[in-house]
Structure 1
Amino acid sequence: MATETEIKLSLSARAASQLPRHPLLADGKPHRQLLINTYYDTPDRQLRSQRIVVRYRQRGREWLFTVKTAALLSGGLAQRSEWEVLGQPGEFDFSHVDNLAIRTLLESLRHQLQPIFTTHFRRHAWLLEPRDGVRVELALDRGWIEAQGRRRTICEVELELLAGAVSELFVLAGELQATVALHPEARSKSDRAYRLLADAPDAAVKALPVPIEAGMPTIGAFRQVALSCLNHLQNNEEGVCDGDLPEFVHQARVAIRRLRSAIRLWEPLLPESFVAHFDPLWQELARKLGEARNWDVFMADTLPALSEAFPDSVAIERLSLHSERRRASSRKAARTAIKSAVYSRLLTEFTAAVLGLPEDDGKPLADFVPRCLDKRTRRVIERSPNALGADAAARHRLRVAFKQLRYALEFFTPILAEAPLNSYLHSATCLQELLGRLNDLAVATTMTAVALPGRQGIAVQGWLAVQTESLRPELATLLGAFQEQSVPWKPF
């Protein structure tokens, strides 16, 4: 078995034509190949569900038979197991797969395997040796994916580590990004092919559970969580840039909130320079997405309620036109941010920094979690009394505290007691949702004050205030119920 470690970077056709002139490549002669790949799966996509790839590659007169585990990409980085031998298409001999569980599964499915899609591309490959002991293959692939008569363009760079440390890949990626627009890819060729095969509209992607264990190093757990948040964010990039569904922006924003919460959770163990450099960058991106999300919520939830409360109102018509313009401009700003070279470099630099974090003192995650969750719970309890009043800012601070607690509980779910956790998490989630509704009303109050200044907005402001007051008794009830819950991390 070999372990394949590579960074995938997408680029435009124009950038692809510029790439060979980059100083890293200009003096080298690339090796050119035509690669035709056929991928196999069962009719019910069992390999896809197990994140396993089976492929035959035609390379000149040779046929290479490959089995891979399909790694999740974070910041473009993929690290996966790979088994490759010479073979003949249609023959499925899995004896070279030395992982017993994977080989047993493949052998049980052997007679169900059928070709499902192909990739066809020309590869220009350069062998780079930037330093002693470091060897990297840079491959520029241009061609297409074909699935049931449908095609999607391939235009990407792969940096595969042949010798040296993983950090060297990110050094090279950074040098390339300095002059060529390269974006860390969120999906492998096979992932994109399956999506093409489905021929269905893209759907927003929610966060996946993070596979952590009580005995793993604490910084190791942070790496898992942070890279999972990046994967969540990147899986919604395309929808933010190319679609109009509000859920893509929402999920991208949730991913950043989760990531920033993770940074805050682990902050005592992280280098000060790491937090000081990256947290403001993620905060600024969240702000740009947040404005788009606020207008989406206002248009979808608040404005229809206002229209019903004030039928045939000229003020509401004016508010609707103002809101539509602001939503369009905020969506454009969000797309611009996600498409920017600044964002592409942030993904690369942050992934490299996460992987390069110094190891902790060896204390297991189980020692860190109770202290971490105790601190988040105390913060919620301390902020609760002020939030019961009329102060919207106090409610917002409580909402932030509940988000951090909820995300921490979700991160640590695999190592917490299931039954107590479900009840506690449900209570925290209900409170966060109610605080979210109250925050939406507070944001709507600010928005309408700008759109309908002076006497124009008095009635609307009054209506929003009544809605806010009607929710305050429920907030008091839910806070009381939450504080009676038994925490699910004692005893651990």
Structure 2
Amino acid sequence: MGVERELKLEGRAEDLRKLLADPSVADGLKGRPARRRLAATYYDTPEGTLRRELGMSFRVRKEGRRWVQAVKREPTGNGVLLARDEWEVQVAGEAPEPARFTDPELAELVQAVTGRELVAIVRTDIRRETVDLDWTDEHGRNAVVNLALDQGRIEADGRSEEVSELELELVEGDPACLYALALRCAELAPVRFATRSKWQRGVRLHDRLAPEPVKAERPELAADANIETVMVAAFGAALHQWIGNEAAVLDGRDPEGIHQMRVALRRLRSLLTVFKDLIPPAQRKSLSGELRTVVKALGPARDLDVFEAELLAPVLAARAGEPSLSALQELTASARARAYDEAHAMVASRNYGRTLLRLSAWLAMRGWRMGADAAGADQLAMPATEAAAALLDKALRKVRRRGRHFAGLAPDERHEVRIALKKLRYAADAVTDLFPPDRVKPYNKRLSQLQDHMGRFNDAFVAGTLVDRLLGDGGLPAAMRQAAAKGAGMVAGWHAHAAVADEPELIDAWRAFKRAAPFWEGAA
């Protein structure tokens, strides 16, 4: 068994070749690239036992005159660095021979497929050029990296996708060098970072399913964890959610993909604030700014999704056949399509890729330790429960400060309260495993109820802003603008009335939240 650690870059073949020819890369190449054709078939049971239950791929590949059978676990790890266990054994031909695997770790796989039919799920036909590279980064760290330029096709169930990627696999040395090399590649050519393996891409083709949006997962923490462990787990969970929604965003069929990616990005920005005392200010400001750029680019698409599904839809249902609402619906759909094009362009851009890689490298290499003095090291080693309580206290004080005289606050002031509440919630989600569930659940329930009420209030508040943005298109025909404006007035009035009706419950929810005993009380 081996552990494969690699980064993947996608781009046009000519751009990927330029990377190998650039002096900063070419001077470290160990010889000329070796060329070979790799034809592989991936197998599974008809029910998908390996991929759906065991999280493994099972491949037989022809390498020259040899047939090599391999099993890999699904990629794990935080960020764009793919790390996965891999087992290989030579076999007689293209037919799979699971019994040839004798490693005890594969006993479950062998048992699952013994005596059962294995069917071809995915086929790949790749022309690969490989060469090793001696690489030294700007900090003097060294590594040997295997570069594999792959061109070819993935086929599954009568459908196919082109492959054009460069794999950077760590052979030996410091993993930080992989990130430094990838960043250098991103500066030299228009490439993006691939976060799915060929097997994963093939399964998507085979199953013909829209990519599923990925929701946040709560980090699992040990009771004796220190605060740095909490940081790593919290940032890692949010980064995993970000990357996990790329496919859904680019696919575009499920609006939840953009929503969940924005949630992940906003969570990351909030965590940079929550842990600000442990992160050098220059790092925090730089990373937060880059993340904000991506969030901002996704914002219009998400705003129009909300407007269409949550603000316009109920009014349409109540006033079926109203021409002015139909005109507004048509205008919304057109604006939404443009916003999605802009979101897709961002996710496919070089700047997006660099931001993703920078944050991944920062997390993997514990970038906040750079330049940290003894006092900073002591802070990172603090018991997590004690440090988390102090962080949550600070976030709660900000909520209470912004929420003074809540009933009389203007809409924009309540929006600031809502943002502070989100940051408190993100911080609480990161550390709940450290505290007794019977204290966590009641408090989080109050927090969630208040957030729901404030979300509805905010929807009513932003409805007018969204409508103004829609009607601000100077190219609209006058008749359509007039009709849509009438419909917009109906929508804004509808939700303003709903906000007024919900006001007493919102005030009650705020008061209940203020009375609730924080679950971390007494731990600091």
TM-score of the pair, normalised by structure 2: 0.83
**What letter corresponds to residue 109 of structure 2 in structure 1?**
L
For residue 307 of structure 1, report the CA deviation from its aligned partner: 4.8
**What letter corresponds to residue 121 of structure 1 in structure 2?**
I
- Does 2:389 correspond to 1:370? yes
- Does 2:132 correspond to 1:127? yes
In 2, the alpha carbon distance for the partners of 1:345 and 1:117 equals: 31
Report the number of matched residues.
Answer: 489
Given that 2:89 and 2:101 are in contact with CA atoms closer than 8 Å, whether structure 1 keeps it comes out as: no
In 1, the alpha carbon distance for the partners of 2:314 and 2:450 equals: 22
**What letter corresponds to residue 404 of structure 1 in structure 2?**
K
**What letter corresponds to residue 379 of structure 1 in structure 2?**
K
Distance 1:448 1:83, change over 3 A: closer
Distance 1:345 1:385, change over 3 A: same
Percent of aligned positions with the same letter in both sequences? 31
| 2:84 alignment partner in structure 1 | 80
| 1:443 alignment partner in structure 2 | 462
Q: Deviations over 1:132-169 (max 9, x none)?
A: 84210011112222334433332221100112211111
In 1, the alpha carbon distance for the partners of 2:112 and 2:212 equals: 29
**What letter corresponds to residue 391 of structure 1 in structure 2?**
A
In 1, the alpha carbon distance for the partners of 2:428 and 2:296 equals: 24
Q: Return the match for 1:415 from 430, 434, 442.
A: 434
SS of residue matched to 2:419: helix
Given that 2:156 and 2:205 are in contact with CA atoms closer than 8 Å, whether structure 1 keeps it comes out as: yes
SS of residue matched to 1:163: strand
Q: Return the match for 1:66 from 70, 79, 85.
A: 70
| 2:501 alignment partner in structure 1 | 470
Which structure 2 residues correspond to residues 258-337 of structure 1 after superposition, within 5 A? 258-307=267-316, 316=325, 319-320=328-329, 322-337=331-346
| 1:34 alignment partner in structure 2 | 37
Q: Deviations over 1:391-416 (max 9, x none)?
A: 11121112112212222232224333
Given that 1:386 and 1:394 are in contact with CA atoms closer than 8 Å, whether structure 2 keeps it comes out as: no
| 2:372 alignment partner in structure 1 | none
Distance 1:67 1:314, change over 3 A: closer
- Does 2:351 correspond to 1:342? yes
- Does 2:154 correspond to 1:145? yes
Given that 1:315 and 1:452 are in contact with CA atoms closer than 8 Å, whether structure 2 keeps it comes out as: no
Given that 1:388 and 1:475 are in contact with CA atoms closer than 8 Å, whether structure 2 keeps it comes out as: no
In 1, the alpha carbon distance for the partners of 2:274 and 2:393 equals: 11
Q: Return the match for 1:355 from 358, 364, 378.
A: 364
For residue 343 of structure 1, report the CA deviation from its aligned partner: 0.6
Deviates more, 1:306-315 or 1:146-155: 306-315
SS of residue matched to 1:130: strand
In 2, the alpha carbon distance for the partners of 1:388 and 1:431 equals: 14
- Does 2:209 correspond to 1:190? no
SS of residue matched to 2:276: helix
Deviates more, 1:215-224 or 1:344-353: 215-224
Deviates more, 1:473-482 or 1:462-471: 462-471
Distance 1:58 1:215, change over 3 A: farther
For residue 276 of structure 1, report the CA deviation from its aligned partner: 1.2
Given that 1:213 and 1:365 are in contact with CA atoms closer than 8 Å, whether structure 2 keeps it comes out as: no
Distance 1:387 1:450, change over 3 A: farther
For residue 74 of structure 1, report the CA deviation from its aligned partner: 4.6
| 2:112 alignment partner in structure 1 | 109
In 1, the alpha carbon distance for the partners of 2:270 and 2:100 equals: 44
Which structure 2 residues correspond to residues 235-274 of structure 1 after superposition, within 5 A? 235-274=244-283
For residue 31 of structure 1, report the CA deviation from its aligned partner: 0.9
Distance 1:329 1:158, change over 3 A: same
**What letter corresponds to residue 353 of structure 2 in structure 1?**
S
**What letter corresponds to residue 5 of structure 2 in structure 1?**
T
Consecutive unaligned residues of structure 2, counting only runs of 5 or more, are 370-376, 473-481
SS of residue matched to 2:403: helix
For residue 294 of structure 1, report the CA deviation from its aligned partner: 1.1
Deviates more, 1:203-212 or 1:162-171: 203-212
In 2, the alpha carbon distance for the partners of 1:185 and 1:73 equals: 14
In 2, the alpha carbon distance for the partners of 1:262 and 1:299 equals: 30
Q: Return the match for 1:392 from 411, 421, 432.
A: 411
Q: CA RMSD in A?
A: 3.1
Distance 1:441 1:107, change over 3 A: same
| 1:9 alignment partner in structure 2 | 9
For residue 114 of structure 1, report the CA deviation from its aligned partner: 2.1
Given that 1:83 and 1:96 are in contact with CA atoms closer than 8 Å, whether structure 2 keeps it comes out as: no
For residue 87 of structure 1, report the CA deviation from its aligned partner: 3.9
For residue 286 of structure 1, report the CA deviation from its aligned partner: 0.9
Distance 1:191 1:377, change over 3 A: same
- Does 2:165 correspond to 1:156? yes
For residue 208 of structure 1, report the CA deviation from its aligned partner: 3.2
In 1, the alpha carbon distance for the partners of 2:383 and 2:39 equals: 46
SS of residue matched to 2:212: coil
SS of residue matched to 2:135: coil
SS of residue matched to 2:200: helix
Given that 1:139 and 1:158 are in contact with CA atoms closer than 8 Å, whether structure 2 keeps it comes out as: yes
Distance 1:39 1:315, change over 3 A: closer
| 2:60 alignment partner in structure 1 | 56
Deviates more, 1:187-196 or 1:84-93: 84-93
Distance 1:222 1:184, change over 3 A: farther
SS of residue matched to 1:129: strand
Distance 1:121 1:482, change over 3 A: same
In 1, the alpha carbon distance for the partners of 2:208 and 2:336 equals: 29
For residue 490 of structure 1, report the CA deviation from its aligned partner: 4.8
**What letter corresponds to residue 440 of structure 1 in structure 2?**
D
| 1:405 alignment partner in structure 2 | 424
| 1:118 alignment partner in structure 2 | 123
**What letter corresponds to residue 68 of structure 2 in structure 1?**
L
In 2, the alpha carbon distance for the partners of 1:448 and 1:264 equals: 32
SS of residue matched to 1:487: coil
Given that 2:269 and 2:291 are in contact with CA atoms closer than 8 Å, whether structure 1 keeps it comes out as: yes
Consecutive unaligned residues of structure 1, counting only runs of 5 or more, are none
For residue 64 of structure 1, report the CA deviation from its aligned partner: 2.9
Q: Return the match for 2:448 from 429, 451, 468.
A: 429
